[in-house]
């Protein structure tokens, strides 16, 4: 019996059971193993189980028995109803902002409840929901600019256990040193928006047209100086993409960042800012950044959220957790699947069942891809609006090239360390490998 293919979540899940797939007869047999070459060595790889074997080039190919063992997969899959146990709460604390970024997924997609603040009473009600339904889980405070609604933010930050996960997504300019100490003492992970050098911040200005770049950097440096857990969220667009590698070096060498997210732009129905985004350039830059992250001990989200699945031999089935452990609430307390999906007639009626039935695991073309085990399909909003399916096809080549690079590293790390994958904590400045 081969390794089971179960949906992999970041928190402990219930015991998985055999699922009824959208069409059991539709699922083909396991694909042929994927083969990669490097110098005088070949690796044979099972994309579903992340198992692999190596051979010297010119050595006998794996025997039929070895191929059968490596290719074996038990195609049971976690059913949708087992994803109903939440551990990630996304709170749209406000949909007002003191900036007007050209790529904003809120204002450039006309999301519901624009400019509205969550009331303290609603925040208190949602905090009670948290304690009743997902005690100890992670809460993301997001907007808009959540610090514009600081009183509602503090309801959650004061009312949750210190050890529970808390994330604040902010441009940072309203946070004083005392505010930063407050966040530090409550174990809050601050994710601060910085898009590169000052010239790149012309795509993220305030309502007076100012970048306020010096203030942004000053607040980031204050967070580091005061010992807060802070990382950078950098949104890539055609404007800053040509400088992506230089931006990374600046973040790491000049600013001292050790946790960075380089996201590709979401679809914005009111602007064309994401048009012409060159995924080939992004892919080439990310491969350079991957090598730099290994040298300098940097956590890059787009890398680590894929590498972890290979290292742990877990199958990544979903690209976004909105059909799994994540729940989202609007400023008025209304629960929603995803604010972006709500914002357009093409996606407003999408259900978790729709997304589940169209996961890459069930797609015949995706099942032949070497990167299926680290993919999950990407953002369902971008996938549906751009490609009328539930896989963001922009990421396909990026996933495959990154997979091959990471797989060879996993081969080398496994050989050189008896402490793999735990040793990756030191390599990438993380605690994610127990």
Q: Residue 10 has what pLDDT?
A: 35
Of the given ranges (6-10, 98-102, 189-193, 286-290), which has the lowest mean pLDDT? 6-10
Do residue 256 and residue 169 come from a single domain? yes
Q: Residue 252 has what pLDDT?
A: 98
User: What is the 3 state secondary structure string of the chain?
Assistant: CCEECCCCCCCCCCCCCCCCCCCHHHCCCCCCCEEEEECCEEEEECCCCCCEEEEECCCCCCCHHHHHHHHCEECCCCCHHHHCCCCEEEEECECCCCECCCCCCCCCCCCCCCCCECCHHHHHHHHHHHHHHCCCCEEEEECCCHHHHHHHHHHHHHHCCCCCCEEEEECCCCCCHHHHHHHHHCCEEEEEECCCCHHHHHHCCECCCCCCHHHHHHHHHHHHHCCCEEEEEEECCCCCHHHHHHHHHHHHHHCCCCEEEEECCCCCCCCCCCCCCCHHHHHHHHHHHHHHHHHHCCEEHHHHHHHHHHHHCCCCCCCCHHHCCEEEECCCCCEECCHHHHCCCCCCCCCHHHHHHCCHHHCCCHHHCCCHHHHCCCCHHHHHHHHCCCCCHHHHHHHHHHHHHHHHHHHHHHHHCCCCCCCHHHHCCCCCCC
Do residue 133 and residue 43 come from a single domain? no
Answer whether residue 168 is part of any domain: yes
| Cα–Cα distance measured from residue 82 to residue 78, given in angstroms and rounded to the nearest whole number | 7
234: tokens are 């950098």
Answer whether residue 339 is part of any domain: no
The mean per-residue pLDDT over the stretch 167-192 comes to 98
Single out the residue in 230, 246, 277 at which a domain terminates.
Answer: 277
Q: Which is it for strands 73-74 and 3-4: parallel, antiparallel or unpaired?
A: parallel
Band of the pLDDT at 167, cuts 50, 70, 90? very high
Do residue 190 and residue 260 come from a single domain? yes
Do residue 46 and residue 7 come from a single domain? yes
Band of the pLDDT at 62, cuts 50, 70, 90? confident
Do residue 54 and residue 122 come from a single domain? no
Answer whether residue 182 is part of any domain: yes
pLDDT tens profile 133-164: 999 999 999 999 999 999 999 999 999 999 99
| Cα–Cα distance measured from residue 370 to residue 355, given in angstroms and rounded to the nearest whole number | 22
Residue 322: closest CA among 345, 349, 348, 355: 355
Do residue 249 and residue 370 come from a single domain? no
Do residue 363 and residue 430 come from a single domain? yes
Answer whether residue 323 is part of any domain: no
pLDDT tens profile 254-285: 999 999 999 999 999 888 988 899 999 999 99
Single out the residue in 246, 277, 308 at which a domain terminates.
Answer: 277
Band of the pLDDT at 72, cuts 50, 70, 90? confident
Do residue 65 and residue 122 come from a single domain? no
pLDDT at 45 over 90: yes
Band of the pLDDT at 86, cuts 50, 70, 90? confident
| Cα–Cα distance measured from residue 39 to residue 28, given in angstroms and rounded to the nearest whole number | 33
Q: Residue 273 has what pLDDT?
A: 86
CA distances to 9, 10, 107, 113, 247 from 317, in Å? 9, 12, 30, 32, 31
pLDDT at 116 over 50: yes
Do residue 273 and residue 145 come from a single domain? yes
Answer whether residue 301 is part of any domain: no
Do residue 76 and residue 107 come from a single domain? no
The mean per-residue pLDDT over the stretch 319-334 comes to 92
The mean per-residue pLDDT over the stretch 67-91 comes to 83
| Cα–Cα distance measured from residue 174 to residue 154, given in angstroms and rounded to the nearest whole number | 15
Residue 400: closest CA among 322, 306, 275: 306
Q: Work out the percent of the chain whose per-residue pLDDT is above 70.
A: 92
Q: Please, what is the average pLDDT of the chain?
A: 90
**Domain span holding position 257:** 86-277
pLDDT at 93 over 50: yes
Band of the pLDDT at 2, cuts 50, 70, 90? very low
| Cα–Cα distance measured from residue 340 to residue 329, given in angstroms and rounded to the nearest whole number | 12
* CATH number of the domain encompassing residue 120: 3.20.20.70
25 in the Ramachandran plot: left (φ > 0), alpha (ψ -120 to 50) or beta? alpha
Of the given ranges (78-87, 187-196, 266-275, 323-332), which has the lowest mean pLDDT? 78-87
The number of distinct structural domains making up the chain is 2
pLDDT tens profile 218-262: 999 999 999 999 999 999 999 999 999 999 999 999 999 999 999
Q: Residue 112 has what pLDDT?
A: 81
Do residue 72 and residue 96 come from a single domain? no
Query: Which of 60-64, 144-148, 339-343 tops mean pLDDT?
Result: 144-148
Answer whether residue 329 is part of any domain: no
pLDDT tens profile 22-44: 554 445 555 579 999 999 999 99
Q: Residue 371 has what pLDDT?
A: 97
| Cα–Cα distance measured from residue 50 to residue 274, given in angstroms and rounded to the nearest whole number | 33
Q: Residue 3 has what pLDDT?
A: 54
Answer whether residue 308 is part of any domain: no
Single out the residue in 231, 256, 277 at which a domain terminates.
Answer: 277
Q: Residue 14 has what pLDDT?
A: 34
Do residue 180 and residue 41 come from a single domain? no
Answer whether residue 148 is part of any domain: yes
């Amino acid at each position: 019996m081969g390794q089971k293919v179960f949906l992999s979540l970041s928190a402990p899940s219930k015991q998985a059971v055999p699922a009824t797939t959208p069409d059991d007869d539709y699922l083909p047999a396991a694909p042929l193993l994927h083969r990669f070459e490097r110098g005088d060595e070949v690796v044979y790889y099972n994309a579903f189980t992340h198992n692999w074997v190596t051979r010297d080039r010119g050595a006998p190919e794996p025997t039929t028995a070895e191929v059968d063992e490596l290719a074996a997969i038990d195609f049971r899959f976690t059913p949708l109803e087992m994803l109903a146990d939440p551990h990630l709460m996304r709170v749209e604390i406000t949909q007002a902002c003191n900036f007007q970024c050209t790529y904003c997924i809120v204002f450039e997609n006309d999301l519901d409840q624009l400019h509205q603040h969550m009331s303290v009473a609603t925040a208190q009600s949602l905090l009670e929901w948290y304690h009743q339904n997902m005690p100890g889980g992670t809460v993301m405070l997001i907007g808009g600019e959540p610090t514009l609604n600081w009183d509602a933010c503090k309801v959650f930050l004061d009312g949750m256990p210190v050890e529970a996960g808390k994330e604040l997504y902010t441009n940072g300019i309203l946070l004083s040193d005392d505010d930063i100490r407050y966040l530090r003492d409550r174990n809050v992970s601050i994710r601060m928006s910085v898009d590169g050098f000052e010239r790149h911040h012309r795509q993220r200005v305030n309502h007076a047209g100012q970048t306020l770049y010096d203030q942004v950097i000053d607040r980031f440096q204050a967070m580091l100086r005061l010992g807060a857990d802070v990382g950078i969220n950098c949104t890539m667009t055609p404007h800053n993409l040509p400088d992506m590698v230089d931006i990374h070096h600046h973040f790491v060498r000049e600013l001292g960042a050790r946790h960075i997210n380089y996201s590709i732009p979401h679809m914005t129905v009111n602007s064309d800012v994401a048009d012409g985004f060159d995924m080939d350039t992004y892919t080439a830059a990310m491969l350079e950044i991957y090598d730099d992250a290994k040298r300098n001990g940097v956590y890059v989200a787009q890398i680590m959220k894929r590498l972890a699945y290979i290292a742990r031999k877990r199958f990544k089935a979903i690209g976004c957790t909105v059909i799994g452990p994540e729940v989202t609430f609007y400023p008025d307390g209304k629960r929603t699947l995803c604010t972006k999906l709500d914002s357009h007639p093409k996606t407003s009626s999408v259900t978790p069942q729709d997304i589940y039935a169209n996961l890459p695991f069930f797609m015949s073309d995706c099942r032949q891809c070497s990167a299926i085990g680290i993919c999950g399909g990407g953002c369902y909003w971008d996938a549906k609006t751009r490609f009328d399916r539930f896989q963001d096809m922009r990421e396909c080549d990026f996933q495959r090239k990154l997979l091959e690079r990471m797989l060879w590293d996993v081969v080398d790390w496994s050989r050189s360390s008896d402490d793999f994958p735990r040793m990756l904590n030191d390599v990438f400045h993380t605690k994610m490998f127990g």
